[in-house]
Amino acid sequence: MVESETRTYSAAMAACSPIVRGWSRLAVVGLEHLPDHGPVLLAVNHDSYWDPVAVGVAALPRRQIRALAKASMWRIKGLNRILDGMGQIPIERGTTDAAALERAIGELRSGACLGIFPEGTRSLGRDLRARGGLGRLAEAVPEARVLCCSVAGTTDIARFPKRPHVRVRFFPPAGGGLMSNESAGDLTARLMSEIRADAPIAAAGRRPARVQ
């Protein structure tokens, strides 16, 4: 059974679909790997503000994705209500936000699909260290399926009139989920290594910068 979506989430995805599916020529690969029910931890690379939107639109035939997002976004009037309506979870970046992690654990145990950007922020052409939050969630909810998602081409959406080619690929990690001898940080590092092998770092902005 496909997980039901909130009205706000459905409306937001419908509003963005013409840009992501139409203008950006979205290609979705491996959607069959995304379960349509049950707890899922989805690790995603992050180069553009469009990444969570592209992943949400790509996953729409299967289920809603609830993301751990920067708490600062909730300080924008109006946007906070939309994010709440979409079931997103605010987390303070650069800290161990126990409240956010507890809420995420609760959502997972209730069968949610959580999208997480282990790099913590947009890459902006940098090679960022993967953070251990996803690994800690995998430890806390071992029944959750761990899945990778690579996103490519979203940095070109802002480069109008150049028309982008956006690709979202869902795939299981080669080594599976959390191994018995693996730390939370090691898991996220392994996942990001596989994801970045499929979607190399791309700099955002109107003009592509040189990737270091």
Residue 199 three-state SS: coil
Strand 167-171 to 27-29 pairing: parallel
**Which helix (H) or strand (E) is 151 found in, with range?**
strand 145-152
Residue 161 three-state SS: coil
Share of the chain above pLDDT 70, in %: 94
Phi and psi at 31, nearest 5°, equal -60, -25
Q: What is the pLDDT of residues 105-163, one digit of tens each?
A: 999 999 999 999 999 888 988 888 888 889 999 999 999 999 999 999 999 998 988 89
Burial class (CB in 10 A: 0-12, 13-18, 19+), 74: middle
Residue 114 three-state SS: strand
168, 54 contact by CB (below 8 A): yes
The pLDDT-based confidence of 211 (bands split at 50, 70, 90) is: very low
